């Protein structure tokens, strides 16, 4: 079947930068932008990054490289600790975003080459701890210091992210889920007041945030390369671990292209199953 995307990871119905599915009575990232400090999730290679302040966590999205990969830099507001999801390409660009604050951790969403082109350099410069799933780690080319499984927790400073293992695009793909700030310790707050110069997004704290790598995009699941068993596995995992437990407002940050929200995609699950990709 015809795929129109510029890479082989995502479904062809939606191209990067285009709006997500229309006609759903759910707030899309584009529609939400007005009350969100301007964050839309639409970035382009060579263009500026976009940052949103969720209070306990700041998310910066940048598009890099010839395959239009998204990299996400997450920063703990309380400690300044930083975590990068996918050192995909353009190491200098990523290092510029990381800045002088250092990088504690770099998580590789999966083993595909377009997601790891800058990994060796970023690790060499920052000393960041590498994290990946054991099923993909041997193919990543840079040694993985921490292997993570489904349900594991990864900390960005004080902020916990939960690992969701999704099998199908690759055997060891992982999504990272942020569900809100850590509980405040008795007698004090776990959060700093935030930093000046950025618009806080209080609404952003109200729903989960999910970084999906190449497992879920606006318009469908990630590519399973014509393998029906891999497709069924990915759809099963997405329905059981993502669409089942998470609410419609869950913000989806994919490995390529525009963001979406879970509620915009949920009405199409049957359609995706029926078409087989
Ligand atoms: Fe991929």
222 CA distance to ligand 1 centroid (A)?
8
The total number of structural domains that make up the chain:
1
50 CA distance to ligand 1 centroid (A)?
22
Q: What is the pLDDT of residues 103-154, one digit of tens each?
A: 999 999 999 999 999 999 999 999 999 999 999 999 999 999 999 999 999 9
- 162 falls within a domain: yes
In the predicted structure, residue 19 carries a pLDDT above the cut 60: no
- 22 falls within a domain: no
Q: What integer pLDDT is reported at residue 146 of this predicted model?
A: 98
69 CA distance to ligand 1 centroid (A)?
10
Q: What is the pLDDT of residues 138-151, one digit of tens each?
A: 999 999 999 999 99
Higher pLDDT, 183 or 100: 100
Alpha-carbon gap, residue 263 to 277, rounded angstroms: 19
**SS3 for 212?**
strand
Q: What percent of the chain has pLDDT over 90?
A: 76
Alpha-carbon gap, residue 24 to 26, rounded angstroms: 5
Q: What integer pLDDT is reported at residue 2 of this predicted model?
A: 32
* Structural domain for 108, as ranges: 35-182+192-275
- 16 falls within a domain: no
- 14 falls within a domain: no
- 161 falls within a domain: yes
In the predicted structure, residue 180 carries a pLDDT above the cut 70: yes
Q: What integer pLDDT is reported at residue 188 of this predicted model?
A: 46
Residue 90 per-residue DSSP state: -
Q: How confident is the model at residue 185 (pLDDT cuts 50, 70, 90)?
A: low
Comparing 10-14, 23-27, 238-242, 270-274, the range with the smallest average pLDDT is: 23-27
79 CA distance to ligand 1 centroid (A)?
32
Say which CATH number the domain at 134 has: 3.60.15.10
Higher pLDDT, 29 or 25: 29
Comparing 86-95, 119-128, 193-202, 211-220, the range with the smallest average pLDDT is: 193-202
DSSP state string for 108-127:
-S---GGGSTTHHHHHHHH-
Q: Quote the mean pLDDT of the chain.
A: 86
- 17 falls within a domain: no
Q: What integer pLDDT is reported at residue 265 of this predicted model?
A: 98
Q: How confident is the model at residue 24 (pLDDT cuts 50, 70, 90)?
A: very low
170 CA distance to ligand 1 centroid (A)?
7
Mean pLDDT of 151-172: 98
Q: How confident is the model at residue 183 (pLDDT cuts 50, 70, 90)?
A: confident
194 CA distance to ligand 1 centroid (A)?
34
Alpha-carbon gap, residue 75 to 39, rounded angstroms: 16
Q: What integer pLDDT is reported at residue 9 of this predicted model?
A: 72
Q: What percent of the chain has pLDDT over 70?
A: 79
Burial readout 100-113 (b: 16 or more C-beta within 10 A, e: otherwise):
eeebbbbbbbbbbe
- 12 falls within a domain: no
- 18 falls within a domain: no
Q: What integer pLDDT is reported at residue 38 of this predicted model?
A: 87
């Amino acid at each position: 079947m015809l795929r129109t995307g510029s890479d082989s990871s995502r479904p062809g119905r939606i191209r990067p930068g285009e709006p997500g599915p229309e006609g759903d009575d759910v707030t899309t990232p584009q529609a939400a932008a007005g009350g969100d400090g301007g964050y839309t999730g639409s970035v382009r290679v060579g263009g500026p990054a976009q940052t949103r302040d969720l209070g306990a966590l700041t998310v910066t999205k940048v598009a890099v490289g010839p395959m239009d990969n998204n990299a996400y830099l997450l920063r703990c507001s309380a400690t300044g600790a930083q975590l990068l999801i996918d050192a995909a390409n353009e190491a200098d660009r990523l290092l510029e975003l990381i800045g002088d604050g250092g990088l504690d951790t770099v998580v590789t969403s999966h083993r595909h080459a377009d997601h790891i082109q800058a990994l060796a350099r970023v690790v060499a410069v920052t000393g960041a701890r590498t994290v990946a799933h054991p099923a993909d780690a041997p193919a990543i080319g840079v040694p993985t210091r921490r292997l993570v499984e489904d349900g594991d927790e990864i900390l960005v400073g004080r902020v916990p992210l939960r690992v969701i293992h999704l099998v199908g695009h690759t055997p060891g793909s992982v999504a990272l889920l942020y569900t809100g700030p850590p509980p405040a310790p008795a007698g004090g707050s776990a959060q700093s007041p935030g930093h000046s110069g950025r618009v806080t997004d209080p609404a952003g704290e109200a729903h989960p945030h999910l970084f999906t790598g190449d497992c879920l995009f606006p318009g469908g699941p990630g590519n399973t390369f014509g393998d029906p068993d891999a497709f069924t596995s990915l759809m099963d995992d997405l329905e059981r671990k993502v669409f089942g437990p998470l609410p419609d407002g869950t913000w989806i940050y994919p490995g390529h292209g525009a963001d979406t929200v879970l509620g915009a995609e949920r009405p199409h699950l049957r359609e995706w199953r029926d078409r087989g990709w």
